[in-house]
Structure 1
Amino acid sequence: MTEDKLELEDVGSSLVASDSKNASVKPPNLFERLIQPCLAELVGTMFFVFIGCVSVIENVEATGRLQPALVHGLAVAVLVACMAEISGSHFNPPFTMAIYLCGGMKLNMVVPYLISQVVGGILGASMSKLMTSTENYAKAQGAAFTILQSEDQLMGALFGEMAMTCLVTMVVLLGAVNAKSSTPMVPFMVGCTVIINVLAGGDVSGTCLNPARALGPAILTNHWVYHWVYWVGPITGGMVAAALVRLLLGDRKTRILMKPPHSSGPHGKASLAAEQTN
C-alpha cells in the first residue's frame, strides 16, 4: 500500500512538473508582451513621482536633504524589486534609451515605454497635489525644480545632472543588462546611488536625474524656468553611460570595441560557445 502511494505521488509530481514545463514554454500573449510592461512603467513611474513629490512638499526643514534623498532612493529600490520581472523597472526615459543602446530591449518597446513614463510622471505629480495641503504645495511649488535662478548656476547644474545621471545609469546597465556584472542586488544599488546623488547634489541642481520626475510638477505649477536642463542633462548623462558600457566596460557580448578575434579552430569554437553562454 505504501509503495502504491509513493508511486502515485511520483506520478502526480511528474504530471505537475510536466504541466509547469509546458506552461513555461508558452509564448507570451499581446497583453504580457506589450500592454502589461507599459502599465508597469506607468504605474511605477506614477508612484515614484508621487512619493518623491510628497517628500519634497512635506519636507521637514530640520531634515534638510535627508528626507527627499531617502524617500526617492527607497522608493526606487522597492519599485524596481517589485516590477523588474514585468517591465525591467526603468521608470526613467534616459534608462530606457541607454538600455536599448546596450541591447537590453527591443526598439519597438522604446516609444511605448517613454510615453508610459511621461504619463506616469504627470499622474504622480497630480496625486501629490491631491494629497498635500494647498499651503504646503504652494510653498514648495509642487516639488518642481526651482533651485536654478540665474545664469551663474546653469553650467554647474547642467553638468551635475549629466554626471549624476551617468553614474546611476551606469549602475543600472552594469547591474542589470551586462551579463558579466549582473547582480540581484540591482534594486539596492540603484536606490543607494539615488540617495547619495541627492545628498551630494541637491543644492546644486535639485538632483532630478529623470525628465518624467521634472515634467509632471512643471505642468501642474506652470514652472518652466530652466526646465530644459532637466531633460538635456539626464538624457546626455544616460547616453554617456551607454557609450561607456557599450564601448569599454561591457562584456564581450555587450562591448563593440577591443574584442578578441575568433579562431576558426576547435579552441576558437569552444571560446565562442563559452562567450555566448556568458
Structure 2
Amino acid sequence: MADTTKNTMLRSPTYGTEEDTPTGPRGHTTAPVDVSSFPNIDGAFEGSFAATARDRPEASPTPWYYRREYYTGGWTDRTIWRSLVVECVATTCQIYIGGQFGMTLMESGTTQITAYVGIFNTFLLATFIYATATATGGHLNPMITFATVLCGLTPVSRGTFLMTAQITGGILAGGLLLGTWGHDRAVSHLGGGNFFDPSIISPGQVLLNEIMSCATLLVLAIGTGLDPRQQILYGRQLGPLLVGLSVGVVSCASTRIAPGYTGASMNPARAIALAIASSHWENQWVWWVGPALGSILVALMYRLAPPSHFQGQAGSKAQLSVA
C-alpha cells in the first residue's frame, strides 16, 4: 500500500479491498464511505469535521506544499461556493448567540463566570459543528481553517472562501449585536467580552496567552476531530463533541486570569464582531496575530513530527488489536 503520510501531515486511511478493511470495536466497520452516493455533501474534504464524509484521494508522493493543484484547484467549484452560504450564516448565528451569552453573564453579576463559559462553549461549538460539518466542514472559525490549510488538509481555494465567509459572518454578527443592544449599552459593556485592560495586563502578555491557547486548542481539535485514528478508537460521531469540549476546556482555563481581561478569544471572526458591537478597536491586532502564530506552530509540529498512520493491512490489524 502506498505511503499516505507524504501527501499531507494528517491523512485519512485508505484501504484496497474489502478484505483490507479493518473492523473497529464491537465489529463496526471502518471502511471509507463513498461520498458520491450522498447528495449535497459539500463538507467532504480531509479538513472536515464530518468524519464519514471526508474525501480520501489517492496518495501522492509529493508533499501538499509542492502540489500546484493545492493552490490552483477549486476556485470555480460551485459546491464550495454553495457551502459558503451555510458557513456564513452559521458563523453569524454562533457568534451572535455567544455575544448574547457574554452580555447575560455581565448582567447577571454571577461570580461563577469561568464554569459557565466552559460549559456554554462546549455545547455551543459541538452543536454547531454537528449541524454544519457535512455542509461546510464545520470550521466556523478562521483560525481552524487557516491551520488546516497549513497542515495540508484544506486546499487554498476552499480555505480562502471559508475564511471570507467566516469573517463576513463575524461582521454581520457584530452589527446584529449592536442593533440588539443599542450603541450606549454595547459600548458600556464592551461588546459582551473580548477585551483587556492594558494598565493591568500588557498586550504582550495577552498575545502570549492567545498564542498558547490557540496552539493548545488546535492540537486538541486536530487530534480529536481530524486524526483518522480517532474514528477507529472512539467512533466517527464523537469528533465534534470532543472539539467542543476542547474549546470549553481552553476557554475555561484562560478566563479571568487577570482583572479586566476576558481571556483568550481564539477566533478572529468573533474578535471583529465584538469590536464592531462595542466600537472598541484598541489592540485588535492581538486577536489576529495570536491565532495566526498558534496555527503556524501547530503546522510546524505536524510537519516535523507527524502522527503515525496506517501502513497497510498488517499495521492496521496490529494497531486495532492493541486498541
Q: TM-score range by the shorter chain?
A: 0.7 to 0.9
Alignment counterpart, residue 96 of structure 2, candidates 50, 60, 82: 50
Matches within 5 A, 1:73-92: 73-92=122-141
Whichever residue aligns with residue 99 of structure 1, its letter is: T
Q: How many correspondences in the alignment?
A: 241
The residue matched to 2:202 in structure 1 has which SS? helix
Does the 8 A contact of 2:126 with 2:241 survive in 1? yes
Give distance in 1, aligned partners of 2:210 and 2:156. 26
Counterpart in the other structure of 2:37: 24
Q: Residue type of the partner of 2:251?
A: V
With over 3 angstroms needed to count, the CA separation of the structure-2 counterparts of 1:50 and 1:26, relative to structure 1, is closer
Aligned partner of 1:242 in structure 2 is 299
Query: 1:34: which partner in 2?
Result: 80
CA contact (8 A) 1:54 1:132 kept: no
What TM-score results when the alignment is normalised by the length of structure 1?
Answer: 0.75
Separation in structure 1 between the aligned mates of residue 148 and residue 314 of structure 2, nearest angstrom: 24
Kept after mapping to 2: 8 A contact 1:37/1:86 = yes
TM-score by length of 2: 0.65
Match of 1:222 among 279, 282, 299: 279
Residue 185 of structure 1: aligned partner: 238
Which one of 221, 242, 254 corresponds to residue 201 of structure 1? 254
CA gap 1:151/1:181 in 2 versus in 1, 3 angstroms? same
The one-letter code sitting in structure 2 at the alignment partner of 1:61 is G
Give the superposition deviation at 1:272.
5.4
- Aligned-partner residue type, residue 156 of structure 2: L
Measured in 2, the distance between the counterparts of 1:163 and 1:48 equals 23
Q: Is the 8 A contact 1:93 1:211 kept in 2?
A: yes
Q: Tell me which residue corresponds to 2:151.
A: 102
Which consecutive unaligned segments of at least 5 residues does structure 1 have?
Answer: 1-20, 254-270
C-alpha separation in 1, matches of 2:276 and 2:172: 11
CA-atom RMSD in angstroms: 3.1
The offset of 1:32, in angstroms, is: 6.1
CA shift digits 1:38-94 (9 cap, x unpaired): 122212211111011111112122132333333333211100011111111111112
SS where residue 197 of structure 2 aligns? coil
Instruction: For residue 152 of structure 1, report the CA deviation from its aligned partner.
Output: 4.5
Structure 2 residue runs without a partner (length 5+): 1-33, 43-75
Contact 2:40-2:135 within 8 A present in 1 as well: no
Q: What's the CA shift for 1:163?
A: 1.0
- Work out the CA distance in 2 between the residues paired with 1:151 and 1:225: 15
Distance, in Å, in 2 between the alignment partners of 1:104 and 1:134 is 41
Higher helix share: 1
Match of 1:61 in 2: 109
Higher relative contact order (CA 8 A, sep 6+): 2
1:117 maps to which of 136, 141, 166:
166
Deviates more, 1:32-41 or 1:147-156: 147-156
Q: CA deviation at 1:230?
A: 0.5
Structure 2 residue 210 is matched with structure 1 residue 161: yes
- Write the distance in 2 (CA, Å) between the matches of 1:27 and 1:96: 21
Summarize the Cα distance change of 1:129–1:275 in structure 2 as closer, same or farther, 3 Å threshold. Answer: farther
How much has 1:25 moved relative to structure 2?
7.5
Q: 1-side partners of 2:281 and 2:204: how far apart?
A: 17
